[in-house]
Amino acid sequence: MMTADEILNEVNAFIDNMAYDRKPASLYEPVKYVLSIGGKRIRPVLMLLAYNLFKDDPKSILMQACALETYHNYTLLHDDLMDNADLRRGCPTVHRKWDANTAILSGDSMLVLAFERMAQCPPEKLADVMRLFTVTALEIGEGQQYDMEFEQRDDVTEAEYIEMIRLKTSVLLACALKMGAMLAGASESDADNLYKFGEQIGLAFQLQDDYLDVYGDTKVFGKAIGGDIVSNKKTYMLINAFNCANEAQKAELVRWTSAKDFDPSKKVEAVRNLYNEIGIDKLAQQKIEYYFAQSRKFLNEVGVSDERKKELAAYAERMMHRQS
């Protein structure tokens, strides 16, 4: 069996050697650029690790794994445009390096390339693979729409937030794992348990991201801490701060979230201190651990030996204890 690090090396080499023979080259340069600026490659690694539970030739599905990574990066390209972000992984975003029209058109082409690459799977698997991929892509768009709508609302519930991150983040991790199992010829029950494992890992992963945005180390996290606080993003942290605050704490939260003119660093410090007083840091950590514990139950149900699950379990553990 391959290790996660060996799989990551194979994924990076495969992406680096992908051919872009169509013209005009200017349409595909941003696609190559987006895929060349790094990233953890979590989704293709998960797909190959899931396949490797059942079969010993995970490199045979590198094209499908990299199709999923192409799709993921397409969503990031368009997210950056919608957010008017300047940087992605420390590099200029496509709409900054080129322009907004190029970002839209190259992003659209990237989406089509993702489907074209995914469709190169064995013919007997094609219908099921494309059905799962299509539903997942639709769900991610739905999650993004909910996320945008939440910006205009002050009554977002915890349940609504969890469903939004399930759609926006979790389902693609779940899809990667289930697809790897499907391509390896796993049973429907094993494929479904891996999907549920991925869903729970995805929820924990996104909540960990929320937590690190408040409590992470800027040097390690790779971006400024407190961006969610500055923008009043409806995260698990903020929603539950309002739910659990006493009247004085709630008034202070309202003061900071409604302020139009403020020093961002002072706002981050003040809101973080309120989170500490209310106990949101501990609440978030407990919720992360809850979803991680749930994920382990589903992985335990997969019908292969613990020895074969060891690498996937260790990779999930690393995901949950990351600092960036």
Domain final residue pick, 120, 154, 187: 120
Sign of the Cα pseudo-torsion (162, 199, 206, 294, in order): positive
Tell me if 287 sits within 8 A of 165, measured CB to CB: no
Please report, in tens digits, the pLDDT of each residue of the chain (324 residues total): 999 999 999 999 999 999 999 999 999 999 999 999 989 999 999 999 999 999 999 999 999 999 999 999 999 999 999 989 998 988 999 999 999 999 999 999 999 999 999 999 999 999 999 999 999 999 999 999 999 999 999 999 999 999 999 999 999 999 999 999 999 999 999 999 999 999 999 999 999 999 999 998 876 655 678 999 999 999 999 999 999 999 999 999 999 999 999 999 999 999 999 999 999 999 999 999 999 999 999 999 999 999 999 999 999 999 988 876
**Residue ending a domain, choose from 120, 152, 187:** 120
Is the domain of 25 the same as that of 112? Answer: yes
Going by C-beta distance under 8 Å and a sequence separation of 6 or more, which residues neighbour residue 72? Answer: 43, 172
Choose one of 87, 120, 153: the last residue of a domain.
120
Q: Is 125 inside a domain boundary?
A: no
Residue 298 counted as domain residue = yes
Q: What integer pLDDT is reported at residue 147 of this predicted model?
A: 96
Residue at token pair 């391509």: 183
The DSSP bridge pattern shows strands 87-88 and 91-92 to be antiparallel
Residue 15 contacts residue 113 (beta carbons within 8 Å)? no
| pLDDT per position as a tens digit, 261-306 | 999 999 999 999 999 999 999 999 999 999 999 999 999 999 999 9
Judge if 176 and 319 occupy the same domain. Answer: yes
In angstroms, the CA 193 to CA 283 distance is: 27
pLDDT, tens digit, for every residue of 222-271? 567 899 999 999 999 999 999 999 999 999 999 999 999 999 999 999 99
Residue 48 inside a domain? The answer is: yes
**What span, in angstroms and rounded, lies between the C-alpha atoms of 251 and 186?**
54
In a domain, 176, yes or no: yes
Question: What is the four-CA torsion angle of 214, 215, 221, 223, rounded to 10 degrees?
Answer: 30
> Could you tell me if residue 139 is inside a domain?
no
Instruction: Specify whether 251 is located in the same domain as 305.
Output: yes
The answer to whether residues 113 and 195 belong to one domain is: no
SS3 130: helix
Per-residue pLDDT at 223: 61
What gap in Å lies between CA 27 and CA 210, rounded to an integer? 34
Q: How many structural domains is the chain composed of?
A: 2
**172/303 same-domain check:** yes
Domain harbouring 77, CATH code: 1.10.600.10
- DSSP state letter for 303: S
Domain membership flag for residue 262:
yes
In this predicted structure, what is the pLDDT of residue 322? 81
Verify that 114 and 230 share a domain, yes or no. no
Distance CA 58, CA 74 (A): 24
Question: Do 172 and 62 belong to one domain?
Answer: no
Instruction: Return phi, psi of residue 244, to 5°.
Output: -105, -10
Do 187 and 320 have their domain in common?
Answer: yes
Phi, psi of 211 (to 5 degrees): -65, -45
The answer to whether residues 76 and 201 belong to one domain is no
Mean of all residue pLDDT scores within the chain:
96
Q: What angle do CA 171, 177, 183 make, to 5 degrees?
A: 125
Give yes or no: residues 68 and 199 share one domain.
Answer: no
Task: Looking at the structure, tell me whether residues 281 and 172 fall in a common domain.
Answer: yes
Q: What's the confidence (pLDDT) of residue 221?
A: 59
| Residue 175: predicted pLDDT | 98
Beta bridge pairs of residue 87: 92
Residue 135 domain flag: no
What is the residue range of 5's domain? 1-120
Query: Looking at this protein, which amino acid is placed at residue 278?
Result: I
User: Are residues 92 and 187 located together in one domain of the fold?
Assistant: no
Residue 147 located in a structural domain: no
Q: Residue 38: its pLDDT value, please? A: 85
